[in-house]
Amino acid sequence: MRSYRPRYASITAGSFCTLSSVPSASTLPSFSTVTRLFSRRTRTYDRFIRCMLYPQGLRAFLRRSPLLRSGLAILDAGCGTGALTLALRRALADRALTVRLFHGFDLTPAMLEHLRTRLGAQAIGDVELRQADVLRLDTLPPEWNGYDLIVSASMLEYVPRERLAEALSGLRARLNPDGRFVLFITRRSWLMRPLIGRWWRSNLYTAAEVQDALVQAGFGTVAFHSFPPLFQHLDAWGHIAEAGI
């Protein structure tokens, strides 16, 4: 059995359906199509990830993370319906930690509205949300900068492959010098091709591809982690990469 103990690849910068291939750049949806896709499937997506115990796995991972401390400025890039936002909030609460500020953005208005409803239902009023494209971060308020922690889950798969490093670079630029970026992204595998690549029209990545993109984006260190033991099935879904400047 695979241990939870983080496995590091540190570097220094100088339903199962018939198998199908990973979507090519020409068949992946445009960002406007992504917005329509997730507007139609907002609740379906929420049910899908809950069925996979994805939110619980995120929370369990974050509860053990040494990156969490009081006073953090946090950005959730591609917050969607709030799986990572709420998992992070709950992990902080579990450890009696408070944040300095918590921001989140997403491309899809329907996703943001769903998350606002969930935050309101839980009386969470300190998470500020905006609509934005990860490739157009200049549309965010100028004060959305200098973060201690930026997290992103299941969003960067929808950036064109040839622009992944560009998107990552834009996020890196918003970290403070000691900040960390934690990425949850879908693994390229025979299982994820039909389940995520085909059904959710997503790019899929190997660990080497993720690492290369992070290095190209200007990150100086990259480490890969695993989900905790009760949620190790999620390692079959994707990678957890932690990167620092």
pLDDT of residue 4 exceeding 80: no
Backbone dihedral angles phi then psi of residue 12, each to the nearest 5 degrees: -125, 135
Q: What is the mean pLDDT of residues 129-158?
A: 96
The pLDDT tens digits of the residues spanning 90-123 come to 999 999 999 999 999 999 898 899 999 999 999 9
The model's pTM is: 0.83
CB 40 within 8 A of CB 210: no
Helices (H) and strands (E) in the chain, counts: 8, 7
CB 179 within 8 A of CB 245: yes
pLDDT of residue 188 exceeding 60: yes
Q: Give the separation between CA 4 and CA 231, rounded to whole angstroms.
A: 10
Share of the chain above pLDDT 70, in %: 79
Cβ neighbours around 100 below 10 Å, total? 12
Domains within the chain, CATH numbers bracketed: 31-244 (3.40.50.150)
CB 193 within 8 A of CB 201: no
pLDDT of residue 156 exceeding 60: yes
The pLDDT tens digits of the residues spanning 74-94 come to 999 999 989 999 999 999 999
Under 8 Å CB-to-CB from 219, ≥6 apart: which residues?
Answer: 13, 168, 172, 181, 243, 244, 245
Under 8 Å CB-to-CB from 9, ≥6 apart: which residues?
Answer: 207, 211, 222, 223, 224
